[in-house]
Amino acid sequence: MSRKPRIRSGSGATMHDVARAAGVSAITVSRALNQPQQVSEQLREQVMRAVDALGYVPSRSARTLASARSRTVLVLIPSLGNTVFLDTLAGIETVLDTAGYQMLIGDSRYDEARELKLLRAYLQHRPDGVLLTGLSHAEPVEALLRRHALPAVYMMDLADDGRCCVGFSQEDAGAAITRHLLSRGKRRIGFLGAQLDERVLKRLAGYRAALAEAGLADAGLEWLDPAPSSMRMGADMLDAALAARPDCDALFCCNDDLAIGALARCQQLGVAVPERLAIAGFNDLQSAAWCTPSLTTVATPRREIGVRAAHALLARLDGGEPETLRADLGFKLMLRRSS
């Protein structure tokens, strides 16, 4: 009877060597390394001591052939320089690491062509599933996912078409913060928008809906720039807004970067916030609470989105489905001194 080939790592040690050193079976070693939740903590530590002593490095190619799984998950995000997505990645990593999976991270830089290129490149590594940011993706991207039957979960927004998604309503959040500014007696509320990706445009739609409800819609109070956002852009947009519409009495900024820049420029110009001009942001970055005055904003559950999305994908990889295909984690208004 032919014997199974010994799975050898680059160090020369094999899984069978680890099993002998740990006093367990090779199957137990495999489970401890690839599915740690299936073994006790004591047994896993026993195996890991043997792994460390022998310098064993598992062969990913051999493991993939043996299990038909790569134990990797592709995560496509639009920016590695944005704290919002770094928080989400941290949540994802916590779940995947515990389950014995590794992340393959692709930064699309808000570019559809680049996202498609990344997906094609990473498919060569045969990821078991994919986590995508947002709902709008080029048709070739969706076609590739269908062709490879790749389980997917969409993050940061909510779909109504049966796709598995974890997030919150960007439009409802935009409307809620606008209604707050209206409740403070503000009537000429401007919108500062940068990047203009799908989530920013939904916040804009919520802002417009809230003003329309109040009979205060005014397209002349919108300042939109497709360039990447920054605090400098927020300061420049504040200048443009006050120059074009000196009657503007509040600003809803599509993110905290713009809002913090606008606040800083108000300080430089001696514009009283919130008496003369109320300002609100979006995302509740750590710096928002430490501005002067502290920034009213929308807290978004970024890390929890990553955690729940990873759990949902793992459920699909195990042949099931999460408890809900549409997980609405909501948002929270952080009402501070700037409004």
Report yes or no on 231 lying in a domain: yes
User: What confidence score (pLDDT) does residue 179 get?
Assistant: 98
- Domain end (from 34, 52, 67): 67
3-state secondary structure of 61: helix
Indicate if the pLDDT at residue 246 is higher than 50. Answer: yes
Question: Is 293 found in the same domain as 196?
Answer: yes
Averaged confidence pLDDT in the chain: 91
User: What confidence score (pLDDT) does residue 130 get?
Assistant: 97
User: What confidence score (pLDDT) does residue 63 get?
Assistant: 52
| Domain containing residue 235: CATH number | 3.40.50.2300
Question: Is 267 found in the same domain as 177?
Answer: yes
Number of domains in the chain: 3
Indicate if the pLDDT at residue 56 is higher than 80. Answer: no
Q: What is the pLDDT of residues 76-91, one digit of tens each?
A: 999 999 999 999 999 9
Question: Is 268 found in the same domain as 174?
Answer: yes
Q: What is the pLDDT of residues 198-217, one digit of tens each?
A: 999 999 999 999 999 999 99
Torsions phi, psi for 330 (to 5 deg): 70, -175
Question: Is 156 found in the same domain as 224?
Answer: no
How many residues in the chain? 339
Indicate if the pLDDT at residue 31 is higher than 90. Answer: no
Task: Give the Cα separation of 184 and 170 in Å (integer).
Answer: 22
Question: Is 291 found in the same domain as 176?
Answer: yes
Residue 189 confidence class, pLDDT cut points 50, 70, 90: very high
| Domain containing residue 22: CATH number | 1.10.260.40
Question: Is 106 found in the same domain as 158?
Answer: yes
Question: Is 135 found in the same domain as 34?
Answer: no
Report yes or no on 9 lying in a domain: no
Record the tokens describing residue 212, joined without a space.
Answer: 């329309």
Report yes or no on 339 lying in a domain: no
User: What confidence score (pLDDT) does residue 183 get?
Assistant: 98
Q: Where are the alpha helices (DSSP H) in 55-190?
A: 60-67, 83-98, 112-123, 139-147, 170-183
User: What confidence score (pLDDT) does residue 57 get?
Assistant: 65
User: What confidence score (pLDDT) does residue 60 get?
Assistant: 52
Domain containing 285 equals 170-299
Question: Which residues face 283 on adjacent strands?
Answer: 299
Report yes or no on 5 lying in a domain: no
Residue 258's contacts (CB-CB under 8 Å, 6 or more residues apart) are 192, 194, 229, 230, 231, 233, 234, 237, 281
24-33, 54-63, 142-151, 289-298: the lowest-pLDDT one: 54-63
Question: Is 177 found in the same domain as 99?
Answer: no
Report yes or no on 2 lying in a domain: no
Question: Is 232 found in the same domain as 213?
Answer: yes
Question: Is 182 found in the same domain as 120?
Answer: no
User: What confidence score (pLDDT) does residue 41 get?
Assistant: 87
Report yes or no on 10 lying in a domain: no
Residue 4 confidence class, pLDDT cut points 50, 70, 90: very low
Q: CA nearest 159: which of 189, 143, 138, 136?
A: 136
Are residues 227 and 200 in contact, defined by beta-carbon separation less than 8 angstroms? no
Q: What is the DSSP letter of 6?
A: P
> CA angle, 18 as apex, 15 and 24 as ends, to 5°?
100
Report yes or no on 336 lying in a domain: no
Task: Give the Cα separation of 175 and 206 in Å (integer).
Answer: 4
Question: Is 286 found in the same domain as 189?
Answer: yes
Report yes or no on 8 lying in a domain: no
User: What confidence score (pLDDT) does residue 10 get?
Assistant: 43
- Domain end (from 28, 44, 67): 67
Record the tokens describing residue 161, joined without a space.
Answer: 């078409």
Question: Which residue in this structure is represented by tokens 């006790």?
Answer: 40
Record the tokens describing residue 80, joined without a space.
Answer: 């590695």
Q: What is the DSSP letter of 77?
A: E
Question: Is 216 found in the same domain as 147?
Answer: no
3-state secondary structure of 56: coil
